[in-house]
Amino acid sequence: MISNNIGLYGGKIVLDLLRDIIYFPAWWYGRGLKQVAIGLKNFLVNKERSLALFVWIKNIFRPMYAQYDWAGILISFFVRLFQIIVRGIFMLFWLALALLILGLWLVLPILAIYEIIFQLAL
């Protein structure tokens, strides 16, 4: 049976910690990156759902409030166009934010290491 030995515990724990530190960069650009990408995708999908942008685009030629006369169709078209533009701007903003976060995720480790070297270099 394993002997009751603090050295052995310590060894095991240090080993675990080492494994963590070595595995950590691989995780950052592998599984971690995948998780962040999936999270951002879900975020964008949810934002799209609450803005209903695609619903507006799909229905651009359908009159609003079931006004099937010419004037109704025409007014609807422009109102929808306006809505789509405004909602599109919002969506672009969220998209830019998502891309920014993804970019930061990719750059951050390199930047941090570069900066540390930069700061330490005399």
Partner 1 sequence: MEDKYSKMPFIVCPVCSGTGEKKLGLKCPACGGMGVGSFLDGKFLYWGLSLGKAVINLRHFKKSVDLVINSIAYAISLAGLAALAFWVWSSSAGGPVGAGAGDYLELFSFWRVKHWLILVFWISALSDMFIIYRLSQEEARKEKIKKFRAVGEKGLVKLPDNWEELKKFSGKIDVSRAASPEEMKVVEEAFLLAAKSGHNELLPLHLFFSLLRDKEIISLFVRLDVDGGKLITRIKSQLLKESASSEGKNDLKISEEVKEILIEAYAQAYNLGQKKVKALNLILSCLRHDKNLAEILYDLEVDEDKIKNIIEWFRVNERLLDNYRGYKKAARFKPAGTMDRAYTAVATPVLNHFSHDLTRAAKWGRLGICVGRDKEIEDIFGAFTSGRTGVILVGPLGAGKRTMAEGLAQLMVEEDVPKFLRDKRLLELDVARLVSGATAAVAQERLLVIIDEIRKAGNIVLFIENIENIVGITGGGEESLELSEVLAEALNRRALFCLTAATVENYSKYIEGKALGDILVKVKIDEPAGNQAIIMAESKVSLMEGKYGVYFSYDAIGQAVSLSSRYIHDKYLPAKAIEILEATAVRVGRRAASDPTASLCTAEDVSVTVSEITGVPVNKITVSESKELLNLEEKIHEKMINQEEAVSVVSASLRRARAALREGKRPIANFLFLGPTGVGKTELAKTVSDIYFGSKDYMIRLDMSEYQLADSVKKMIGDVDGTRGYLTEAVRKKPFSLVLLDEFEKAHPDILNLFLSCFDDGRITDGQGRTIDFTNSIIIATSNAGSVFIQDEVAAGTDIEKIKEDLINKQLNKIMRPELINRFDGIVVFKPLTMDNVVSITKLMLNGIGEMLLAKGIGLRSEEEGVVKLAGAGYDPKFGARPLRRLLQDKIENEIANKILTGELVRRDTVVINKEAKIEIEKGRQL
Residues that bind partner 1 (CB under 8 A): 1-5, 8-9, 12-13, 16-17, 20, 24, 27-28, 32, 35, 49-50, 52, 55-56, 58-59, 62-66, 108-109, 111-113, 115-116, 118-120
3 or 69: CB nearest partner 1: 3
25's tokens = 């960069």
Contact 60, 84 (CB under 8 A): yes
23 or 93: CB nearest partner 1: 23
Sign for the CA dihedral angle at 83, 84, 90, 94 comes to positive
- Please report how close the Cβ of residue 66 comes to partner 1 at its closest, in angstroms: 5
What distance in Å separates the CA atoms of residue 82 and residue 38, rounded to the nearest whole number?
31
- Please report how close the Cβ of residue 103 comes to partner 1 at its closest, in angstroms: 15
24 or 93: CB nearest partner 1: 24
Half-sphere exposure of 38 (CA within 13 A, CB side): 6
